[in-house]
Structure 1
Amino acid sequence: MRKQRNKFDEEHEEHIDESWLIPYADILTLLLALFIVLFASSTVDKEKYQSIMESFKSELTGTKIESTNTGLSVKPSDQKKEDQTPKEPPATQAAAPAPSKDEIELNQLKEKLAKYVKENDLDAVITLQDTKRGVEISLKDVILFDPGKAELKSSSFKTLNVLVGLAKTVDNPISIEGHTDNVPIKNAAYASNWELSSARAVSVLHHFESKKIAKKRLQFVGYGEYRPIYPNNTKVHKQANRRVNIVILRKA
């Protein structure tokens, strides 16, 4: 009986073989490293991922990484260069087209007209406008006609001749347009303000034609009382509405 008990005690006292724990721990370590790499690679850019994989390969295989730029983060100097890369300047607005020859000539004509009006103190009877149609010269009837008449006063020739001379510096069409107030005409020569406004426009047209303005450039129209610039409610407004407009038209 004693011999059997000794044998049992000897077997019980033997240590369990733990050599398998070493490779098991290595496997767990590698798995942990693998999961860390997978997690890190899911949150970095392509360059960082490549660096991680190369580092991991070096550790597992013992090979040397030749590149000195590998690692988890971009070099500060590289990041600084990226930040300092000049941005493209914002697209500039398209330059406005250069004015046409016609526009240049009309602008020069308007400047000359404005100078003449100012130098001769004609601001009260002649006004200038640059409109979509062209350069519009508006002359009150008092500078051109006696009340209710369509014959040009001799005193108007000086001003008209200056306008003719300036009109010759361009070859644009010219529209001559007569206007009246709303007071009905009271003489037998004209049946209505239409006839009076038309007759006055024709008188100016004939004067231009007599000074060698080409006939094909000239046209006239009588608007009567139907295109006033002010309500016909005062003497001043009525006088302003009685006018002849000479429009140097823009070319089509």
Structure 2
Amino acid sequence: MKKGAHTTIIKRGGKKANHGVHTGAWKVAFADFTLAMMALFMVLWIVSSVSKDERREIVAQLNGVSLFGGGAFSPLNDPSSGSNSLPIAPPVPAIVDTKEATETEESQQTESLKDVLSRSDRELNELSEAITKIIAELNAQGNLSLEKVPQGLRILLQDDNDRLMFPRGSARMTHFFTRLLSELAPVFNRIDNQVVINGHTDSANYRNNAGYNNWNLSGDRALAARSVLEKGGLEARRVIQVNAMADRMLLDPDNPLAARNRRIEIMVLTQAASDSLYQFYGRDGVKVVKPIIDRLQ
């Protein structure tokens, strides 16, 4: 190095990386995405593990309504008025247009449902006409009335001021009403519909006999009506339920002792209403829609 020469020293300073602040929001988004994918694969697995009929039953159960709040059964509610029973389209090969296949299947299902409802409605009208004719022949206009409801045909048999269906406090049916029910019995066999029989009393109470009350009486009267109908020719398999209602549903609540409160109600159910009843109680002691886990196993 020459004397007097200057040495240049270059000092390089390190730059600090200016990274953005990480909040962890991406973890939440990723977790949501993972959960959605897992749910999708679960649905696909379940759909591929059950048969077409089983999927329809599951969908019908999930879209059903409850007995007391708008749904699956009751003779007081009609699930067939909605279109909640559309089936899930079965898995199809990749070369098939799944959207088109689903629309075609749903269209066929809807047409079938309309046909069933139309036929049921026509049969109930014919039944109503036949019963009206019997009412006229027996001059029973004051003792029997018909009402068409969404769940089927409701037939009311009740006392009036001249005729009693049962003596007070008794479940033995009088001669006139025995003849009336015997005439009606064969008419119910003309259509393939299930029947529910309900017994009702007024609000008169038994004295000093807590062991027998209006619940017992209304049930015994409903059973007596069933017995007369079957002896008159009604097929026993038609009767799906017999109920005791006591005085819980008075026709004339302002006059709880009125004769019209003492009555027998016969509900001729539509197919949809009887199917809903089976869904609520189960058919032959077995739930209509078994738990999914049982089906998968």
**TM-score using structure 2 length:** 0.48
2:165 alignment partner, one of 119, 123, 144:
144
Distance in 2 between residues matched to 1:190 and 1:166, nearest whole Å: 37
> What do residues 146-181 of structure 1 show as CA deviations (whole Å, max 9, x unaligned)?
111001223322211111021121121111100111
Is the contact between residue 198 and residue 244 of structure 2 (CA under 8 Å) also seen in structure 1? yes
1:124 alignment partner, one of 138, 142, 145:
142
Q: What is aligned with 1:186? A: 207
Is the contact between residue 183 and residue 232 of structure 2 (CA under 8 Å) also seen in structure 1? no
Equivalent residue of 2:182, what SS?
helix
2:265 alignment partner, one of 242, 245, 249:
245
- The share of aligned pairs that are identical, in percent, is 28
The size of the alignment, in residue pairs, is 155
Q: What is aligned with 1:206? A: 227
Distance in 1 between residues matched to 2:175 and 2:158, nearest whole Å: 15
Alignment partner of 1:221 is 2:233: no
Q: What is aligned with 1:105? A: 123
Alignment partner of 1:133 is 2:128: no
Q: What is aligned with 1:153? A: 174
Is the contact between residue 193 and residue 269 of structure 2 (CA under 8 Å) also seen in structure 1? yes
Q: What is aligned with 1:86? A: none
Superposition RMSD on alpha carbons, in Å?
A: 2.4
Structure 1 consecutive aligned stretches of length 4 or more whose deviation exceeds 3 Å: 96-99, 186-190
Distance in 1 between residues matched to 2:237 and 2:207, nearest whole Å: 34
Distance in 2 between residues matched to 1:146 and 1:113, nearest whole Å: 25
Equivalent residue of 2:267, what SS?
strand
Q: What is aligned with 1:176? A: 197
Distance in 2 between residues matched to 1:212 and 1:178, nearest whole Å: 20
Highest relative contact order (Cα 8 Å, sep 6+), 1 or 2? 2
Q: What is aligned with 2:184? A: 163
Instruction: Give the unaligned 5+ runs of structure 1.
Output: 1-95
The Cα shift of 1:200 comes to 0.1
Distance in 2 between residues matched to 1:189 and 1:145, nearest whole Å: 21
Letter in 1 for 2:250: P
> What do residues 69-112 of structure 1 show as CA deviations (whole Å, max 9, x unaligned)?
xxxxxxxxxxxxxxxxxxxxxxxxxxx97962221111001112
* Residue 153 to residue 222, structure 1, CA distance change in 2 (3 Å): same
* Residue 143 to residue 171, structure 1, CA distance change in 2 (3 Å): farther
Q: What is aligned with 1:27? A: none
Distance in 2 between residues matched to 1:189 and 1:203, nearest whole Å: 22
Is the contact between residue 230 and residue 241 of structure 1 (CA under 8 Å) also seen in structure 2? yes
Once the two structures are overlaid, the 10-residue window that deviates more, 193-202 or 212-221, is 212-221
Q: What is aligned with 2:35? A: none
The Cα shift of 1:186 comes to 3.5
Is the contact between residue 175 and residue 220 of structure 1 (CA under 8 Å) also seen in structure 2? yes
Equivalent residue of 2:153, what SS?
strand
* Residue 187 to residue 216, structure 1, CA distance change in 2 (3 Å): farther
> What do residues 96-133 of structure 1 show as CA deviations (whole Å, max 9, x unaligned)?
97962221111001112122223432121111100122
Letter in 1 for 2:264: V
Q: How does 1:42-81 map to 2 (within 5 A)?
A: none
Whichever of the two has the greater Rg, that structure is: 1
Equivalent residue of 2:147, what SS?
strand
**TM-score using structure 1 length:** 0.56
Is the contact between residue 190 and residue 196 of structure 1 (CA under 8 Å) also seen in structure 2? no
Is the contact between residue 186 and residue 234 of structure 2 (CA under 8 Å) also seen in structure 1? no
> What do residues 182-220 of structure 1 show as CA deviations (whole Å, max 9, x unaligned)?
111237596211110000000111222233433232121
